[in-house]
Chains A and B, each alone.
Chain A
Amino acid sequence: MSDLLEQLLHGLTLGSLYAMVATGLALMFGVVRLINFAHGEFYMLGGYAFWYAYAELGLPYPVAGLAAAAAMGVFGLAYERGVIRTILARTWHVQLIATLATSITLTNLAILVFGTQPKEVPTTLSSTIVDLGGVRMAWQRPLVLVAAVIIFAGLEWFVTRAKLGKAMRAMSQNREACAVVGVDVQRVALATFGLSAALAGGAAALVSPLFNIFPDVGALLTLKAFAAVIVGGFGYVKGAIAAAFLIGLAESLAAGYVSYAYKDAIAFVFMVAVLLVRPQGLFGRRIGI
C-alpha cells in the first residue's frame, strides 16, 4: 500500500515537472503556432543556472531558484529575438528544423562547458525526510507539488486578468484581429517566450535537487512534454497540464510495477494510443489557450 502511495507521489512530482515544461510549449504554440524543439534544453540550461547560483555562488535556495528562472526568462527573450523572429513567417519545416538545430547546439555546448558527468545539487529540503502516513519522502517533493499549484494558479490569473495575459489568449485565437485592434503582436510573442522559458527554468530549480542535471536531459523531456501537449489537445494549456500529470503517473507506475528500463517508452506509447482513439486529444477543443 505505502509502496503504491510512494509511486503515486513520485508520479505527481514527475507530472509537475512535465506540466511546467508542457505549459511553456503549449503557450508558445498557442501564441505563435510554432513548436519549440529546444524547450527541453531550456530546462537543462535552467538546471545549470540553478546549479551555478546555488552550489557555486552559494546563494540561498529560494534566491537561487528565482535567479535560475529569471536567467532563463532572459534567455527566452534572446531566443525569440535571435532565432524565432527570423523564422516566424517561414514554413513549419523551416521552423521545426531551426528549433531542432538549436536544441542540438545547446546540448553539445553544455557537454563542452559542463562535461557529461551529472551535477548533483542536494538541498536541505531534498535531504530531510518527512514521514507522511508511512510514506517516507524528501521534503522537496511536497514543495514541488505546492509550488506547481501556486505557479499554475498564478498563470491562470495572469491569462484571465492581466492585460498581457489576455493579449496572449487573444493572439492564440486570432493573430490578425489582434494586430488590427492594436495589440503589439511582436511584443506579446516576445513575452510568451520569456514566460515559457522562465517556467522551464523554474521547473529546473524545483526538481534539480531530486533529479540530477546532465546535458542530454532535454530530448526526452521535450518529447514527453510534447506528448502531453498533443494528448491534452493542441495548444490547450489546461489540457496539456492534465495530460502531463497523467503521463507522470503512468510513467511512475510503469517504472514501479512493469519495467524500469522501459519507463521512458511509456509516454510515447500512451501518446500513440490516445491519438489512435482520439486524434484531437483527450481534452481536445478547437482553439485557444
Chain B
Amino acid sequence: MMRALRFTIATAFLIAVPWIVAATVPGQQRYVLHVLIFTALYGALALSYDLVVGHVGSLSLAHPAFFGIGAYTAALLATEARWPFAAALPAGIAMAGLVALAVGVPMFRLTEHSFAMGTLGFALVAQIVATNWVDFTRGPLCVTGIPKPQLGSLRIATLPGFYWTGLAAVGLVGLLYHGLTTFRLGRAFHAVRDNETLASAASIDPLKYRMLAFVIGGAVAGGVGTLYVSYVGVLCPGELAVSLSVNLLVMLFLGGVGSLRGVLVGSVAFTALPEILRMAPTWRMVIYGLLLLIIVIRAPDGLEGVIRRRSRA
C-alpha cells in the first residue's frame, strides 16, 4: 500500500516536472528540460546496456554501434524515404536487434576479454563505416533535417513533449528490464552470469540466455537511438564513438551494476553532474575515466551499495 502510494506520487511528480520547472526557473526552462530529456534517454540506454553487462555478465563494448544503427536506420528512412515516425521507430529497433543477432553469433564464441575486444572491434568498424560510406550515411556531413516525430495527429515538437516521450521511454524500458530480470528468466540470466558451468549442468544453456539479453539490449539501444535523432534532428558518425561505452560504464558502476534503481541513479548523477560543474568536454572525459577507475576499484557496487547499506543499518 505504502509502496503503491509512493510510486504514484513519484510518477505524478515526474509527469508534472515541466510545469514545476516553468514555475521555479522560468529563465532557464529550456536548458533544464533539455538536460532532463538527455537524462531520460541516457537512463533508458543504460538500462538496456545493463541487461547485457549486469545480468548475463558479458562485457560488451558494442552498444554504441547498436545505438547508432537504430539512429541511422530511423534517420535515413525518415529523411530519404519519408517514412513516418510510427514506422521508422520499429524499423530502427528491428535493425539494431537483427545486427545484434548477426554479430552475437560469432562474438559469443569469444569469452571474457576476447568478447570485450571483439565487440570493441565491431563498434570501431561501425564507426568507420558510418564515416566512410558517404553515399549512404553522408559521412562527416551528417544526416540533417530529421523530422520531429508525428504519431497520427499528435506531433511531438516541444521540449515538454520530448520530455514526456523520454519519460515514457525510460518507464517502458524499466518495465521491460524489471520483467526480464526478475522472474524465472532473470534467475536463468543470473545463473549464467554467476556460474556458467553450473548453469549448463542445470540445463540452462548459457549461450541462449546471453544471446537473448544481447539482442534485446541491442534492439532497445536502437530504439533509444531512434528517439535521440528525432529529438536532436542531426546525426553524425561521432555519435557512435567508443566513448559512449565508457559513459555507459560510468553510469552503471557509479549507480550499481545489475540494479534498476542503481542504474537510474547512476544515469541521473552522470548527466546532472557535468551540467552542474560546467566542465569542458575533454576535462569531463579525464574525470569520468578517473572516476570509473576509482569506483571500480574502491566501490564496485556503486551508489546502490551505499543505499543498501544505509537502509540495512
CB-based contact B110/A98 at 8 Å: no
Q: Are B293 and A98 in contact (CB under 8 A)?
A: yes
Interface flag for A127 (CB, 8 Å): no
Interface residues on chain B, size class: 35 or more
Give the distance in Å from the alpha carbon of A41 to the alpha carbon of B249 in the complex: 20
Q: Taking A35-B117, A219-B124, A220-B124 as contacts, is the C-beta distance between A261 and B132 under 8 angstroms?
A: yes
Contact of B246 among A35, A94, A104, A261 (CB under 8 A): A104
Interface of B is mostly: helix
Residues of A within 8 A of B125 (CB): 264-265, 268-269
With A98-B293, A268-B124 known to touch, is A262 a contact of B286 (CB < 8 Å)? no
| Docked-complex contact A223 and B121, CB < 8 angstroms | yes
Residue A279 at the chain B interface, CB threshold 8 Å? yes
Annotate A210-254 by CB proximity to B: 1 below 8 A, 0 otherwise.
Answer: 000000000110010011001000100000000000000000000
Contact B289 A102, beta carbon cutoff 8 Å: yes
CB of B293 within 8 A of CB of A262, answer: no
Tally inter-chain residue pairs, CB-CB below 8 A: 109
Q: Which residue of B has the minimal Cβ distance to A230? A: B114
Q: Give Cα A94 to B298, complex, Å.
A: 10
* Residue from A97, A112, A272, A279 within 8 A of B282 (CB atoms): A112
A117 within 8 A of partner (CB): no
Q: Does A93 contact B (CB under 8 A)?
A: yes
> From B139, which residue of chain A is reached at the shortest CB distance?
A261
A29 to B37, CA, bound (A): 42
The residues in A between 83 and 121 inclusive whose CB is less than 8 angstroms from any CB of B are 83, 86-87, 90, 92-94, 96-98, 100-109, 111-112
**Complex alpha-carbon distance, A100 and B246, angstroms:** 8
B11 → A minimal CB distance (Å): 34
Contact A112 B242 (CB under 8 A): no
In the complex, the answer to whether A92 meets B113 with C-beta atoms within 8 Å is yes
**Interface contact B285-A35, CB-CB below 8 Å:** no
Of the candidates A109, A226, A227, the one whose C-beta lies within 8 Å of that of B286 is A109
Contacts of A87 in B (CB 8 A): 297
Q: Are B113 and A272 in contact (CB under 8 A)?
A: no
A276 within 8 A of B: yes
A271 interface residue per 8 A CB criterion: yes
User: Roughly how many angstroms separate A181 CA and B54 CA in the complex, as a whole number?
Assistant: 40
Bound together, the chains give a CA A87 to CA B292 distance in angstroms of 13
The answer to whether A275 and B128 have CB atoms under 8 Å apart is no
Given A35-B117, A92-B113, A108-B285, CB of A86 within 8 Å of CB of B297? yes
**B242 — nearest CB in chain A belongs to which residue?**
A219
Verify if B253 is at the interface (C-beta below 8 Å from A).
yes
Question: Would A98 and B297 count as touching, CB distance under 8 A?
Answer: yes
Given contacts A275-B109, A279-B109, contact A102 B121 (CB under 8 A): no
Contacts of B57 in A (CB 8 A): 93
When C-beta atoms are compared, the residue in chain B nearest to A279 turns out to be B109
Contact A262 B297 (CB under 8 A): no
Given contacts A100-B249, A230-B117, contact A108 B282 (CB under 8 A): yes
In the complex, whether B59 has a CB less than 8 A from a CB of chain A is: yes
Decide: A97 and B253 in contact? CB cutoff 8 A.
Answer: yes
Q: What residues on A are CB-neighbors of B106 within 8 Å?
A: 272, 275-276
CB within 8 Å of B: which residues of A? 35, 83, 86-87, 90, 92-94, 96-98, 100-109, 111-112, 219-220, 223, 226-227, 230, 234, 261-262, 264-265, 267-269, 271-272, 275-276, 279
7 nearest A-B residue pairs (beta carbon) = A105-B289, A268-B121, A104-B289, A101-B292, A101-B293, A261-B132, A108-B285
Additional A-B contact list (18), CB under 8 Å, known A83-B297, A105-B289, A267-B121: A35-B117, A83-B293, A90-B300, A93-B59, A97-B253, A97-B296, A101-B249, A101-B290, A101-B296, A102-B293, A108-B289, A219-B124, A223-B121, A265-B128, A268-B124, A271-B118, A271-B121, A275-B114
